[in-house]
A and B are shown apart, each in its own frame.
Chain A
Amino acid sequence: MGVEFIYPEFEVIRNEARCITCRVCERQCANEVHSFSEARGMMISDESKCVNCQRCVSLCPTRALKIVKSDCVLRENANWQNDTIREIYKQASSGGVLLSSMGNPKPLPVYWDKILINASQVTNPPIDPLREPMETRVYLGKKPEKIQRTADGNLNCDLPPQIELSMPVMFSAMSYGSISYNAHASLARAASTLGILYNTGEGGLHEDFYRYGSHTIVQVASGRFGVHEDYLEAGAAIEIKMGQGAKPGIGGHLPGAKIVGDVSRTRMIPEGTDAISPAPHHDIYSIEDLRQLVYSLKEATAYQKPVIVKVAAVHNIAAIASGIARSGADIIAIDGFRGGTGAAPTRIRDNVGIPIELALAAVDQRLRDEGIRNNISLVVGGSIRCASDVVKAIALGADACYIATAAVLALGCHLCRTCHTGKCNWGIATQQPDLVKRLNPDIGSERLINLMTAWRHEIMELMGGMGINSIEALRGNRLMLRGVGLNEKELEILGISHAGE
């Protein structure tokens, strides 16, 4: 314990009167916090290893455990906060780049919480979704600008390929490798039952999950892991990943320790080799190059699949989205700076990118101004936390939302933000067989279905309150939104009035 010693972040509080030394906590903790002391005849703990994932707390049969944030901290300093000092110690001893997981935890503004939704009173009656029809189905893909007729005057009903969703929410990209087989199984099954889609991420598609292909988005990223003709054919849509909200401008790096067994085979790289996705696609340096990749994918799949281009929300997102809309892509996915990840450099996760609310409003407006909004559908992600976030996103101009953090929470994630260790005690962000089996896909998929079913009801309630019975009528309907506590510039970018106006 030298100069850099700092008291562990969490304390393990064990109520000795309740503890029956059943050693469940010891067996459940992959971080090896708990152990049984023969000498003292009691459980002891090494809290320096604790990540506060709450696994032991949840499984302790006598509720003898709790994990609390330690109050043994350095002298208070509003500028040099404890986390900042802790990070300096870590870097001073290792020389390493700080690596974190999940979304940006910093107290930056959440615009969803400063936007309020309208409801009908007197002049336009609300609708009761329990008794009246309410449509939450959406179709993603290019829409024709005008009605076209064939030579004999009949309607030409040939549309570019579309994705049908029973509700405007999809599970966003998480690769097999960053999350477990059972997590993927849960997502795939839930998406199929719900009539929505999940996304393979850049890790290929395990052979067991090809049967869920019609509810799968297959991703093509810069490392092209697991990409081949059968994979492209298997999906309902193909997503080109240019960027990710948690780490805009940098690539992916799955450590060799997670490239084992099926993960290695699905990615087509040898076991133990790091899976490196370069920061750029080295064949894409322009919109024209992007167009080339979009069309090579369309050619390889005979123009049957919509192509999604996913980018992180960054400063010039409106101009970038306009370029993407002209690249031949069918759908743009924009990922805000709060999006989660299995691992990202802390500084990038916490400081790069912009909020999805502002990016979405700017992009939707730009595409409308340029008259190309119907050329492309808009999907947004990056911390969509609940049904009202979805409704606000749709009203700001999105066609659908991507969720991932909410989905893994449903699977049992306790947001301890240490996915990068690969020792997820909840069986989600790990490849250790003993941990993976803790997540039962039967229960996992059921919980995802429950969550989405509940959100769908809430979306219908909110729509009904506004007197809207079809999600299509809500899209881009910013009159349904009001800001609260926002300055004029923020309101201008969001394209909404202040509450009371």
Chain B
Amino acid sequence: MMIRANGLDPSVLNDAIRKSTEVCEIEGCCGQRFLAAGMAHKDITIHGIPGNALGAYLNGAKITVLGNAQDAVGDTMNEGKIVIHGNTGDAAGYAMRGGKIYVKGNAGYRAGIHMKAYKDKVPLMVIGGKAGSFLGEYQAGGVIIVLNLEKPQEKCVGFFPCTGMHGGKMFLRSACENVSFPAQVTACPAGAEDLKELRTHLEEYCQLFELDIEAVLSAPFTVVTPDSKNPYRQMYVAN
């Protein structure tokens, strides 16, 4: 079912999505916020540019954006998939606790901040281009991958990646000689086991964006993990 978004208020548009068939398309989307907030059991394709907080609290729905997305994509997302055939703005995947976000292009500041995980519920974010500063700040779980496919000669991530990271894992497709990491994480070249894990994370991504997985995996990767689950334990004295 096709929904024409022109001039519709976000809540009206969300209502239309709720009432539409399971598989639906939105045409002429232009900045409407909160699309598909909290939704499950939907497969939504968006033509145009959705506004901030696309797929917030997403609960199982699949969203494909044939263009760029703005800030706060997949905020506190629980389950489902968001595929962006373009760039995404700041704070993508804030506190994500499940599901997948695939970005073909670049991500803004604070992507994957405070991502979590619990047992088999492990969120995944793959960024095909570069990521802005504060990537994976406070990361507590899940997997963040930055591929920097377009301009590999440039820095793959901005300043202060992994600040406060205390869980999860990050893969950066770069030797990261020009990236400075905080003291409480370990960044080292990906080994055979890491590459095996990477392959499982990247299979669907490469299929979606028609990339050759061998070519993607052929470059050096840096894997970043926190040294401790309790980085701040020493800071306090009971009073």
- Residue numbers in A under 8 Å from B209 (CB-CB): none
Residue B234 at the A interface, CB < 8 A?
Answer: yes
Residue A253 at the B interface, CB < 8 A?
Answer: yes
Interface size in chain A (residues, C-beta < 8 A): 49
* Most chain A Cβ neighbours within 10 Å, of B37, B72, B110: B37
- Residue numbers in B under 8 Å from A292 (CB-CB): 33, 52-53, 72
- Residue numbers in B under 8 Å from A278 (CB-CB): 114, 137-138, 164
User: Which of chain A's residues 239-275 have a Cβ closer than 8 Å to chain B?
Assistant: 253, 255-256, 264-265, 267-270, 272-275
* Most chain A Cβ neighbours within 10 Å, of B90, B114, B141, B239: B239
Choose from B91, B95, B137, B232 the contact partner of A227 (Cβ within 8 Å).
Answer: B95
- Residue numbers in B under 8 Å from A276 (CB-CB): 138, 140, 164, 166, 232
Residue B148 at the A interface, CB < 8 A?
Answer: no
B82 to A: closest C-beta gap in Å: 15
Choose from A90, A230, A273 the contact partner of B166 (Cβ within 8 Å).
Answer: A273
Residue A346 at the B interface, CB < 8 A?
Answer: yes
Residue B57 at the A interface, CB < 8 A?
Answer: yes
Contact A228 B97 (CB under 8 A): yes
Choose from A224, A255, A282 the contact partner of B110 (Cβ within 8 Å).
Answer: A282
User: Which of chain A's residues 353-386 have a Cβ closer than 8 Å to chain B?
Assistant: none
B193 to A: closest C-beta gap in Å: 20
**9-residue interface stretch from A97-105, A166-174, A207-215:** A97-105
User: Which of chain A's residues 205-227 have a Cβ closer than 8 Å to chain B?
Assistant: 220, 222-225, 227
Contact A253 B94 (CB under 8 A): no
Chief secondary structure at chain B's binding surface: loop
A169 to B: closest C-beta gap in Å: 30
Contact A300 B57 (CB under 8 A): yes
Contact B238 A418 (CB under 8 A): yes
Contact A227 B121 (CB under 8 A): no
Residue B113 at the A interface, CB < 8 A?
Answer: yes
Contact B56 A300 (CB under 8 A): yes
Residue A41 at the B interface, CB < 8 A?
Answer: no
Residue B167 at the A interface, CB < 8 A?
Answer: yes
Q: How far is A267 from B116 in the complex, measured between Cα atoms in Å? A: 9
Choose from A91, A267, A270, A283 the contact partner of B75 (Cβ within 8 Å).
Answer: A283
User: Which of chain B's residues 218-237 have a Cβ closer than 8 Å to chain A?
Assistant: 229-237
Q: How far is A296 from B95 in the complex, measured between Cα atoms in Å? A: 15
Q: How far is A136 from B167 in the complex, measured between Cα atoms in Å? A: 48
Residue B40 at the A interface, CB < 8 A?
Answer: yes
* Residue-wise interface mask of B (71-106) relative to A, using a CB-CB cutoff of 8 A (1 in contact, 0 not): 110011010000000000011001101000000000
Residue B59 at the A interface, CB < 8 A?
Answer: yes
Contact B110 A227 (CB under 8 A): no
- Residue numbers in B under 8 Å from A282 (CB-CB): 91, 94, 110, 113-114, 134, 137
Residue B11 at the A interface, CB < 8 A?
Answer: yes
Choose from B76, B230, B239 the contact partner of A274 (Cβ within 8 Å).
Answer: B230
- Residue numbers in B under 8 Å from A94 (CB-CB): 237
- Minimal Cβ-Cβ distance residue in A for B166: A274
B180 to A: closest C-beta gap in Å: 20
Q: How far is A301 from B59 in the complex, measured between Cα atoms in Å? A: 12
* Residue-wise interface mask of B (49-66) relative to A, using a CB-CB cutoff of 8 A (1 in contact, 0 not): 000110011010000000
7 new A-B contacts, CB < 8 A, other than A229-B59, A268-B118, A295-B34, are A228-B97, A256-B230, A274-B233, A276-B140, A282-B110, A296-B37, A296-B53
A-B contact pairs, 19 of them (CB 8 A): A97-B237, A98-B239, A220-B76, A224-B94, A228-B97, A255-B230, A267-B116, A268-B118, A270-B141, A273-B166, A276-B164, A278-B137, A283-B91, A296-B34, A299-B10, A299-B37, A300-B56, A301-B38, A421-B238
Which 3 pairs, one residue from A and one from B, show the smallest C-beta to C-beta distance?
A: A96-B237, A300-B38, A224-B95
